[in-house]
Amino acid sequence: MLIDMSRKPSAIAQEIRQTKAFDSPEDEAAVALLRTVDLLRADLERALAPRSITPQQYNVLRILRGSHPEPLATLEIADRMIERAPGITRLLDRLEAARLVSRKRCGEDRRIVHCSITREGLAVLAALDEPVREIGQKRVGRLSKSQLANLLQLLDRIREEVS
């Protein structure tokens, strides 16, 4: 596939100061998507910093708030994570040490550990709700309702299983 070298460099090419054309529109789109994710993650990290929690810990707390008051098994939490966390046990150790989650072994199967968000965890999330909502408004809120619907459909398509 030939790329039109006479066209103006894309916003992502200018942003990362890339002087050569991308190999393909797919490569360019993937770079733009990764750059966007990085910007959103940096915004989230800044919002979470005052509470001394990471985006992965925040994700676990949100998952547990969503199931509250019902506990979730550790593997269920891992499956629901936005970003796969191979060290889910260490992640939960830190949250438990901060008294944001509690864990209890299942009576019937000691290999299963049930996790719940604590009152302190709920309070941390409540304090973070508005700053996190502001990130979405700042970054994504500029899109119209139809653009947002389009974006969600496109992202769903990108995440579909590839055979």
Domain range list for the chain = 23-133
Separation of alpha carbons 110 and 3, rounded Å: 59
- What are the residue ranges of helices labelled H in the chain? 11-15, 25-48, 55-67, 74-80, 88-97, 119-139, 145-159
**Sheet containing 72-73, strands listed edge to edge, beginning at the edge strand earlier in sequence:** 72-73, 113-117, 101-105
Write out pLDDT tens, residues 50-95. Answer: 999 999 999 999 999 999 999 999 989 999 999 887 788 899 999 9
Write out pLDDT tens, residues 30-50. Answer: 989 999 999 999 999 999 999
* Fold classification of 23-133 (topology level): Arc Repressor Mutant, subunit A (1.10.10)
> In 3-state terms, what secondary structure has residue 100?
coil
> Among 102, 82, 84, which residue's Cα sits nearest to residue 93?
102
- Helices 119-139 and 25-48 cross at an angle (nearest 10°) of 140
pLDDT band at residue 28 under the 50/70/90 scheme: confident
Is this structure's pTM higher than 0.75? yes
pLDDT band at residue 1 under the 50/70/90 scheme: very low
Q: Pull the structure tokens for residue 30.
A: 């993937």
pLDDT band at residue 18 under the 50/70/90 scheme: confident
Separation of alpha carbons 11 and 44, rounded Å: 23
**CB contact burial 110-142 (16+ within 10 A = b; e otherwise):** eeebbbbbbeebeebbeebeeebeebeeeeeee
